Amino acid sequence: MNADEILKSYIPMVDFMANTYGKNCEVVLHDLRDLENSIIAIRNNHITGRKENGPVTDMALNILHNLDKYQDKNFICNYTGKTSRGNKTLRSSTYLIRDGEKNLIGMLCINIDITPLLKAREAIDDLIINEELLNNNVKGTQENFDLNLNDLINSYISQAMDEFDAEPSRMTMKEKKEIVRHLSEKDVFRLKGVVVEVAKALEVSEQTIYRYLKELENTTS
C-alpha cells in the first residue's frame, strides 16, 4: 500500500476507539506529510476544539525533529497534555504509523480528558496525584493542543521570548538571534507563516529573520 492507503486504513480505527472509550476520549489521525493540515480524521473533538485539516502539535514536531530517538519505537504512552486554554488535563498516547520503508508518515493519537476524574478524586481525599507527579510518568513531556496554526506558532515564540526579561525593542541583536536559533532547533520554521510572526514579535523585518537563519545555517554546516 502507498502512504495514502495506509493512513486511510486507520480511519475505521478512529471511529472504533472513539466509540469504545466514549465522549471523554478524543481520537486523532495525523498525516505528517502535511504539517499545516495534518488532521485527516478526528472524533470527540469537543475536548480540544480542533478540527479536520488542523495543524500538528508541538509533540509531533518534536518527534519529527528527533527521528533517531523514535526509530525503534512503535508508540508513546501515558504522557500529559493541556488544551490551548489550559482548562483541561489530558492523558495521551500516540501510535506511530510508518510506510513499507519504515518512514514515519502519520500518528494515531488518543487524548483522554481526565479533568473530571482529578476533580472527583480531589473531593474524596487529599491524596490525589497532582500534575507534577502525573508529569513524572514521562519526564519532561507535555503536549499542547492548539486550535490553529497561529496559536501553535505564537506559543513557540512566547516560550522562546520568556527566556529574555526584556521587550523586543530593548533586546540586542544577539538576543534576537538566540531566539531565532531556539525556534530553528525546534523545527518551527518548517511551518508556513512562521517568519512573518517571528518578525512581528521581534520587531524586525522578515529579511532580517531570513538573514539570521542563513547565518545559523552557515555556522552549522
Q: Which residues pair with 83 in a beta bridge?
A: 145
Question: How confident is the model over 144-154, as a mean pLDDT?
Answer: 78
Least confident of 72-76, 77-81, 119-123, 141-145: 141-145
Check residues 150 and 27 and name the one with the higher pLDDT.
27
**45, 135, 161, 195 from 173: Cα distances, Å:** 42, 36, 13, 16
**CB neighbours (10 Å) of residue 37?**
14
Give yes or no for a contact between 97 and 7, defined as CB atoms under 8 angstroms apart. Answer: yes
Q: Which DSSP symbol is given to 36? A: G
Q: Binning pLDDT at 50, 70 and 90, where does residue 146 land?
A: low
Q: Which DSSP symbol is given to 139? A: T
The pLDDT value given to residue 141 = 62
The pLDDT value given to residue 60 = 92
pLDDT, tens only, 21-37? 999 999 999 999 999 99
The pLDDT value given to residue 76 = 95
The pLDDT value given to residue 133 = 56
Question: How confident is the model over 103-121, as a mean pLDDT?
Answer: 92
Least confident of 87-96, 138-147, 151-160: 138-147
**20: its cell numbers:** 469504545
Question: How confident is the model over 106-125, as a mean pLDDT?
Answer: 88
Q: Binning pLDDT at 50, 70 and 90, where does residue 85 land?
A: confident
Answering whether pTM is above 0.85, one says: no
Percent of the chain with pLDDT over 90: 62
Find which of 35-44, 67-76, 129-138, 173-182 is predicted with most confidence, using mean pLDDT: 35-44
pLDDT, tens only, 154-178? 888 888 888 877 788 888 999 999 9
The pLDDT value given to residue 128 = 46
